[in-house]
Structure 1
Amino acid sequence: MKKVYVIHENSEWTIHLTKRLEELEVPYEEWHLDQGTLDLSTEPPEGIFYSRMSASSHTRDHRYAAEFTAQVLGWLEAHGRKVYNGSRALQLEISKVLQYLVLNKHGIRTPRTVAAVGKEQILEAARTFEGKAFITKHNRAGKGLGVQLFQTFDALRLYVESPAFEEPVDGITLIQEYIQAPESFITRCEFVGGRFVYAVKVDTSEGFELCPADACQIGDLFCPVGEEIEEKPKFQIIEGFNDPILKKYEEFLSANGIQIAGIEFIRNANDEIYTYDINSNTNYNHEAEAKAGKYGMLELAKYLKAELDK
């Protein structure tokens, strides 16, 4: 019997999808790839395959999950199996440098970014921002890993030379211009089947790159932000969102074989959009969806069911 095979390393982020697949009576099987074996002399089972491998897998003691998944995806694709969010999606998931290069290729503006390996090189890169505020982040990230806001070079130097410095898992730290938004929020656009589903307004007053699944909160050691206002929801679905950027995003996803993604952007004071993150292992916030009556995992389950039925 043909199935939907869900490839992942974090059951907490996948259970919401499998529940929807069960509701729709879609046969499925989970492949949890934090470890395993791959016999290259065998052929994959029949069915379709959907990868939810995460760039932050190493933070859950699954250090080589992404690397192993890359080999499994290559095996599936070599045998002609239909893979959703396949090898190319994983390449972009684990490298923001590649994300920005490909986004720029499609005419999508990203913040000025310098990649650096080594503490002295990080400091050298920061000097090129000429007194402007900037942020650091990990090249292979997820959950806002390594995201810090710095107003001065000296603040960065103190951080880099302190025990609090976070070494990126791939050794690459990004120094990126800080886009000052008129209000403390970013917008996250969700896509299923390469098509826009909805946009979410995400409150960033407590940090950057909040994850819809677990509301990851990344503080700034040297530039503390304000306290959370309890009544203000972190995630709000924007009714009737429409912007020309959506067409560019859909073209970008199609060109790179990415079917499911959350893409985040921020607007500056001149209303210019800067795109800074692609999440091919996207999650959805339950409270925001319940208020809006829109459900990302349900749309995803419907999409996978229709693809399996083909």
Structure 2
Amino acid sequence: MSNALPAVTVVGSINLDLIATAERLPTAGETIGGAVLSEQPGGKGANQAAAAARLGGTARMVGAVGNDAQGRKMLDALANAGVDTADVAVLPEPTGTALIVVDREGENQIVVCPGANSHLSLDGVEFGPEEAVLCQLEVGLPVVLEAARKARGFFVLNAAPAMDLPAELLVRCDLVIVNESEYALIPALAEAKLVAVTYGGDGSAMFEHGRKVAEAPSAAVAVANTVGAGDAFCAALVLALRSGLDYNRALAVANAVGAHAVGESSSQPDLARLGHYVEQTAPAADAL
């Protein structure tokens, strides 16, 4: 694996997460008391950019926040993680907000109010051939399509939340990352050139045109918050693959990063450098 980690540019959402931690999730029409409220920087895009930077990659964020206190807080959090925020637009619309309920097992329910994320524009944004461009679907599909057209190098889509994807977008994707339920909800992914699927406690797998070509188990860990774990997995997998690891090793490393993240209460947890997880997941023969 190369010592110099590649550049990752994330095009996506930036949200303030309002998290209520309760004993259990409410059912329809039910009120649950005794919860604890916290505010955290979030948004799938921002979470992935922060993870990429903390893992040691060169991370740039392309997104939008509001001209408000929440937006300034989100920009500060990204900068503190080591993310280049020069391409984050400050707009008149309010900063995006996610309302999240987390139960004692770490499971969650999320409602997203996109705010400024809905007005993200890629006017004037360019991507170099050496950059991996990573998108999600918490910003408008037209913006994701434009990013796919503009990207000159490795293009990755975290297809979450699940929706029908245009053929043009799928053809352009060098890698699609989804969880098990998203994979089931997007049948067209069976034709995609490369898809990584996460299975929570059952690990992850890689598929080429619907055929499983690699898999890796997950590490057992006490669950504190699952909100940012998938995002940390995405950032780690992109960095691992672009650093030259094969599919099995890259999945194992990304699983280890995701396990670290799920044990932390933050949606943008502190992470070790990618090399730490590479060593942690090294086969016994490598350690000799």
TM-score after normalising by structure 1: 0.31
> Which protein is bigger by CA-based radius of gyration?
1
TM-score, normalised via structure 2 length:
0.33
